[in-house]
Structure 1
Amino acid sequence: MRKFGSSKTFSLIIISALLVYLYHITSKTSNTESSRKHYSKLMTIPLENTILTDKIVLSFVVCDSRFNESLNLVKSVLLFTKTPVYFVIFTDDNLRHSFNETLSNWKILLKNKLNFELQKINFPEDHEDDWMNLFSKCAAQRLFIPKLIPHIDSMIYVDTDTLFLGPIDELWGFFSNFNSSQISAMTVEDDNPNVSWYPRFAKHPFYGKYGLNSGVMLMNLTRMRNFGWVDYVTPIMLKWKLFIPWGDQDIINIIFHYHTDAVLVLSCRYNYRADQCMYGDACADATARGVHLLHGSRRAFHNHKQPAFQAIYKAIDEYELGTDSTHSLLNSIEKYLSEAPSSNCGNLKDAFLRVPIKTLNELYSVPTRVQAEICIN
């Protein structure tokens, strides 16, 4: 009986050992498979190579009633630019469907000359109301863009009340002019101390002698992230919020006041506002080479104070994208400028027409009559 019992015990030990061995093999195989799948999953996660660096990117922020104005901005880019453009649009929920529908149709119509993404308005929860209404609604969103779209390397930011009159490629080319310390490029507010707002009225630090206008802003987002841009903006807003009537533009000026080497100053022809012409010719570069980007600040596109600005906006607004008769756009611009009431800005009609005529002449076949109207050399 002892012998039998001993044999039985030995058999149980062997069986137990086999079961432990089989469990170990199964567990190891399972863990290896799980690790393989996990590693494979990790390998599909896009890393640095997903940052968009090979396309021209234009961004703007729009809420409330600026929808049609922003569509005319997009239209102007597409009219005067042959290169495909990628639009990053920050907008509220009320406008998302309209943007998606219109831009999707344009994308088909223009055979993928444009692509776009829609981003939600996204402010930090702390002081959210302050940010939302700092200047015009949502305008301060631009200050947080470097952190909100980490997949974008660089972009041109513009206010919605801007119109391109020449190819965006020319403006995009200034990124290659940045030195190692520069993270952004903008124009000065005005280079006349008797006109510029900042030296006369600002109660906060600002860039240089005249301050910067932020309606057009080249942003190297990668460098801005490394600079720690977003970390600056809230402390500045809390300290100066009672003294910054222009909101995000004032905050930008305060930052660049202390970091003057971080900004490249552009010619006024790339952010041409009524201030450059309403008191006489204050932008010699635009007079000589033409206005490249028109900025209708202070509602210049929509009121009767600046009829020359209103005339150009009206012509682009009426133009149907996708038609072959782009020369009709030039005819309309010329017609509305000629019919507009006399003004100091209107007296510089050649400066408004020079770049559109040259650009459309190079991109499309333009009637010789229109070409002969303005000397484009």
Structure 2
Amino acid sequence: MKLHYKLAVIAASLAAGRLLFFLLLGNSATEPPPRREHGPALKVFQHVRGRLVISQPTAFRLLHRPVLNQQPRPSTKRRKKPASNRSPNEPVFRQHTWRREEWMHLAVVACGDRLEETMTMLKSVLLFSLNKIKFHIFAEDTLQPQFETSMILRDVDSLLYVDTDVLFLRPIDDAWHFLNLFNSTQLAAMAPEHEIPRIGWYSRFARHPYYGAAGVNSGVMLMNLTRIRNQLFKNSVIPTGLRWEELLYPLYNKYKNDITWGDQDLLNIIFHYNPEYLYVFPCQWNYRPDHCMYGSNCRGAEDQGVSILHGNRGVYHDDKQPAFKVMYEAIRDFPFEDNLFQSLYFPLQNNFLKTVHTLCGRLPQVFLKQIEQAMRKVYELRVIHVG
């Protein structure tokens, strides 16, 4: 089921007949979430519905002025910028000025019991985002009343797809800026499945072609849909190129007995034959338990902190990787009307101390660095500049 809906995220952008479920405000006739989703998920759902499409940067109204010791406002006098300590491997983002007509597009597939995860992911986006966002939600019939309808993606130029178990620890705007780094042939971006090929899953177990030395992970995928629509893809089905919408199901039929991870395997097959079309994210933009549970193997996260946290393997809901669970529960339970530092960061910092005995929790800065920087950024923009 997940494979069908996840592929439809891209297929819907290419074929007029595919509907998506777009969160809109209003319509009190929608049914409440299932009983198991009452509590934090229901509160997030009710809040998110009313704050999806507004005429100014999405989260400017979400942060109240903090109750802190009053400090004098910083001087507006220009100061000499300190020397940059940026890692040579860190992408250099173009200076971006928000313009009212610009939109970022985020897509997610919500199947089965993923409502709470989906709402927590959306909450993490809203907490730190700066520009306007449209959310595109693909859902099963039982979840459609919560996500409402409807719109077609074929007029959308670019799209960021994420799994439901993803959390943004810095503004989504920064991920969106990777589009500026695409060269003339690149049309999508994903992170490696593993940093060390000799212990990676694809390099050891895959029975089908995959991208590069260790494959890529599809939990976070940035797409230039305009380029995807117009491109022919080399493939192992026929000698000539096929368009995206012509390629997916023939590949599935050919490799269905060999693939293990559904859509991710198909994407690996596609970019194995078309490597020039893929931009590779640094690992901190899709940070998973595999990056720390066998020892730290994401240098970018050690240097710069995690930008996007991907809690696959169900780690948000069990006790196998408490560092991931602490991050998830902190964002899930944070009240929108409270101060970010007092009600999110400081409790998160304290709870994280309980995880330092674990492999993933032994380097707190990996998990906390970016979220602290993001909070300071939104505080400066929304309180000092706007307040």
- State the TM-score, normalizing by the size of structure 1: 0.69
- 2:220 is the counterpart of 1:224: no
Match of 2:21 in 1: none
Secondary structure of residue in 1 paired with 2:223 = strand
User: Aligned partner of 2:193: which letter?
Assistant: E
| Equivalent in the alignment of 2:363 | 348
The answer on whether the counterparts of 2:356 and 2:362 sit within 8 Å (CA) in structure 1 is no
For 2:146, which of 75, 81, 98 is the aligned residue?
98
Per the alignment, residue 219 of structure 2 pairs with: 215
Is 1:167 matched up with 2:182? no
In the alignment, what sits opposite 2:288?
273
Map Cα deviations across residues 7-49 of structure 1 (whole Å, 9 max, x no partner).
xxxxxxxxxxxxxxxxxxxxxxxxxxxxxxxxxxxxxxxxxxx
Counterpart among 56, 61, 76 of residue 124 in structure 2: 76
- Equivalents in 2 of 1:297, 1:255: separation in Å? 23
Point out the structure with the larger helix share: 1
Question: CA deviation digits over 1:317-349, x for unaligned, max 9?
Answer: 111223345531101221221123721100121
Aligned-pair identity (%): 42
Q: Any conservation in 2 of the 1:91–1:118 contact (CA below 8 Å)?
A: no
1:59 alignment partner, one of 99, 103, 107: 107
Decide which structure has the larger Cα Rg and report it. 1
The secondary structure found in structure 2 opposite 1:342 is: coil
Instruction: Find the residue that maps to 1:64 and give its secondary structure.
Output: coil
Deviations 1:209-228 (A, max 9, x none): 11000000001111111122
Deviations 1:188-236 (A, max 9, x none): 1012123210010000000011100000000111111112212111111
CA RMSD, Structure 1 to Structure 2 (Å): 1.7
**Alpha-carbon distance, 1:357 to partner:** 0.6
Aligned to 2:84: none
- What residue in structure 1 maps to residue 313 of structure 2? 298
In the alignment, is the contact (CA less than 8 A) between 1:319 and 1:329 conserved in 2? yes
Asked if structure 1 preserves the Cα contact closer than 8 Å seen for 2:107 and 2:136, the reply is yes
Provide, for residues 97-144 of structure 1, a one-character-per-residue CA deviation record: whole Å limited to 9, x for no partner.
2235xxxxxxxxxxxxxxxx656xxxxxxxxxxxxxxxxxxxxxxxxx
Query: What amino acid maps onto 1:158 in structure 2?
Result: V
Q: Superposition pairs for residues 198-347 of structure 1, below 5 Å?
A: 198-227=202-231, 228-340=243-355, 342-347=357-362
Listed as ranges, the gaps of 5+ residues in structure 1 are 1-52, 101-116, 120-147, 367-377
- Counterpart secondary structure, 1:243: coil
Residues 356, 363 of structure 2: 8 Å contact kept: no
CA contact (8 A) 2:291 2:297 kept: yes
Give the distance between the partners of 1:205 and 1:165, measured in 2 at CA.
33
Alpha-carbon separation, structure 2, partners of 1:363 and 1:222 = 31
The one of 79, 87, 90 equivalent to 2:135 is: 87
Alpha carbons of 1:284 and 1:118: their partners in 2 closer, same or farther (altered >3 Å)?
Answer: farther
SS in 1 for 2:155: coil
Distance of 1:358 and 1:312 partners within structure 2:
15
1:183 and 1:161 mapped to 2: Cα distance? 24
8 Å Cα contact 1:96/1:118 also seen in 2: no
TM-score by length of 2: 0.67
What residue number does 2:377 align with? 362
State the Cα distance separating 1:298 from its structure 2 match: 1.0
